[in-house]
Chain A
């Protein structure tokens, strides 16, 4: 099974993990790491490298980052550049995370990443249009 690592600024990643497990129950091969204000990008990169190593059971790891262009996502870019078996998708949200945790039961890493991106548009709705 594909491992999942959520990374963010501050405690967002931990909060998303907490929310997802409130809905789906405890999940295996699933971690969350937040960049702290006093942490350097280099230090954060070392931490996520170690997490990826622990989460990869041979099928790779999906890294869900909060913000394209942000320091956590930029740190993860080096793992892609170093040809580790990871996919990085930015703009993580609760619907995206729930989709990833479900899709990894039957899909490989590239497919889970694509499913995450497809989930975004379905998760963002404007209620005035639904009620009109």
Chain B
């Protein structure tokens, strides 16, 4: 299987930003992963349109894991966008092996009291161990908003904020 990049981003496909990432990585298949979004007809219609012609799937965690292990996926260069860190960890636990994992946007969720690790990434106390588990599984967890930014170590950024 060829998952070249796993991005954690609760904005999922964000127009130009996603297109820039796909082009820079040379990905040819974009998969948005979240169980709730996979059942949302509005998102399923909008997300592929926002990707401007890049082959796009909107799948549950289980379906994503199943697809990337399939024969069809072997020839592809897949970029996965997981909505939440919990989705990313579930993918890793289901045997998905991305070459790299990156934290993009993670906006604050209503009713939570997160720490803003960066301007665009909010992390709750409950989520901090999830990010650590991801980093432990893949060796390194990057924070990189745009392709032109240099990658920072996300766990170190969390530690600096006392998480």
For B41, list chain A residues within 8 Å (CB).
81
In the complex, B128 has a CB within 8 A of chain A: no
Q: Establish whether residues B110 and A40, one from each chain, have CB atoms under 8 Å apart when the complex forms.
A: yes
Q: A69-B50, A81-B41 are in contact. Are A38 and B107 (CB under 8 A)?
A: yes
The one of B13, B46, B107 in contact with A39, judged by C-beta atoms closer than 8 angstroms, is: B107
> Contact size class for B?
20 to 34
- Would you call B108 and A71 a contact (CB within 8 A)? no
The residues of B that contact A43 with a CB separation of less than 8 Å are 110
Q: Note all chain A residues with C-beta closer than 8 A to B119.
A: 37
A103 in the interface, Cβ–Cβ < 8 Å? no
The answer to whether A71 touches B14 (Cβ under 8 A) is yes
Within 8 A of A (CB), among B26-64: 41-43, 46, 49-52
For the complex, is B15 an interface residue (Cβ under 8 Å from A)?
Answer: yes
Q: Residue B135 at the A interface, CB < 8 A?
A: no
A74-B107 in contact given A37-B120, A41-B11 (Cβ < 8 Å): no
By beta carbon, the residue of chain B nearest A69 is B50
Which of A20-77 touch B at CB < 8 Å? 37-43, 67-71, 74, 77
Evaluate contact between B108 and A40: CB separation under 8 angstroms: yes
CB-CB < 8 A to B142: which residues of A? none
- Closest B residue to A39 by beta carbon equals B107
A residues in contact (CB < 8 Å) with B: 37-43, 67-71, 74, 77-78, 81
Report, nearest first, the 7 A-B pairs whose CB atoms are least far apart: A69-B50, A69-B15, A40-B107, A81-B42, A38-B108, A43-B110, A71-B11
